[in-house]
C-alpha cells in the first residue's frame, strides 16, 4: 500500500489484512481504482514469487473485486467499522485491537474507538451479515 501511495495519488483511510482476503478503503482522487487494484495485485504477486523463488505464473487472486462507492459520512463510518471489525466477524480475535494487520490501531490512537471494545453480537456493526 505504501508503494501504491507513492505511485498513484491515493489514500487508504481504512484497511485490514486477513489470511484469506483483504478489505481496504481507497480514495483514488480521480485515478482509476481498477488500475490501482491491478497494480496492487501485480506488485504483491511479484514480491511473493521473488520471496519464495517461484518461476512461472501463480494464481493468488480472484479475477474480480467488489467495489462500493461511499455515499455520505454515515456510509463511510459504517464501511470503516465493517473493515476494522472483520477479524472479529471471522472469529480470529474477540476484539479488533487484537488484530495487528489493520488500520484500526491508528483510529484507536486518535480516539475514534474505545480501547476495550469487544464484539458480543455479530450484528453490532452494520453490514456484519455480509462481506464487502
CATH of the domain at 7: 3.30.70.1290
> Tens digits of per-residue pLDDT, 51-87?
999 999 999 998 888 889 999 999 999 999 999 999 9
Structural domain count of the chain: 1
Residue 131 has pLDDT above 60, yes or no: no
Please confirm, yes or no, whether 101 is among the known catalytic residues. yes
Contact between 102 and 87 (Cβ < 8 Å): yes
Q: Identify the domain containing residue 104 by its residue range.
A: 2-109
Report yes or no on 115 lying in a domain: no
Residue 125 CA to residue 132 CA, distance in Å, equals: 13
Cα 75 → chain centroid: 16
Residue 37 to residues 28, 65, 77, Cα–Cα distance (Å)? 11, 8, 22
Q: Is position 27 within any domain?
A: yes
Give domain status of residue 66, yes or no. Answer: yes
The catalytic residue among 101, 104, 113, 130 is: 101
Average pLDDT over residues 38-57: 94
Q: Is residue 93 part of a domain?
A: yes
C-alpha grid cell for residue 18? 486477513
The 3-state DSSP class for residue 129 equals: coil
Q: Is residue 116 domain-resident?
A: no
Amino acid at each position: 500500500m505504501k508503494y501504491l501511495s507513492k505511485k498513484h495519488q491515493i489514500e487508504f483511510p481504512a484497511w485490514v489484512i486477513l489470511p484469506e482476503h483483504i478489505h481496504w478503503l481507497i480514495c483514488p482522487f480521480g485515478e482509476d481504482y481498477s488500475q490501482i487494484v491491478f497494480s496492487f495485485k501485480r506488485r504483491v504477486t511479484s514480491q511473493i514469487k521473488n520471496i519464495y523463488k517461484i518461476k512461472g505464473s501463480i494464481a493468488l487472486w480472484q479475477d474480480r473485486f467488489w467495489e462500493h462507492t461511499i455515499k455520505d459520512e454515515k456510509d463511510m463510518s459504517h464501511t470503516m467499522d465493517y473493515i476494522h471489525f472483520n477479524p472479529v466477524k471471522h472469529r480470529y480475535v474477540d476484539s479488533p485491537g487484537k488484530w495487528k494487520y489493520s488500520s484500526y490501531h491508528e483510529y484507536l490512537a486518535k480516539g475514534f474507538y474505545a480501547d476495550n471494545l469487544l464484539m458480543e453480537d455479530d450484528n453490532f456493526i452494520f453490514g456484519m451479515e455480509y462481506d464487502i
